[in-house]
Chain A
Amino acid sequence: AQSVTQLGSHVSVSEGALVLLRCNYSSSVPPYLFWYVQYPNQGLQLLLKYTSAATLVKGINGFEAEFKKSETSFHLTKPSAHMSDAAEYFCAVSDRGSSNTGKLIFGQGTTLQVKP
Chain B
Amino acid sequence: ETGVTQTPRHLVMGMTNKKSLKCEQHLGHNAMYWYKQSAKKPLELMFVYSLEERVENNSVPSRFSPECPNSSHLFLHLHTLQPEDSALYLCASSQGASLSTGELFFGEGSRLTVL
Contacts and interface: CB of A to CB of B under 8 A. Distances in A.
How many interface residues does chain B have, given as a range? Answer: 20 to 34
Interface of B: 4, 6, 31, 33, 40-43, 45, 48, 50, 55-56, 90, 92, 94, 96-100, 103-109
Given A34-B103, A49-B103, A51-B100, A102 B108 contact: no
A43 B104 CA distance: 11
Contact of B48 (A41, A103, A106, A108): A103
A2 B31 CA distance: 21
Given A103-B45, A106-B42, A44 B90 contact: yes
Contacts of B97: 100-102
Interface residues of A, number: 27
A45 B99 CA distance: 16
Given A42-B108, A43-B4, A99-B56, A104 B90 contact: no
A102 B99 contact: yes
Nearest to A42: B108
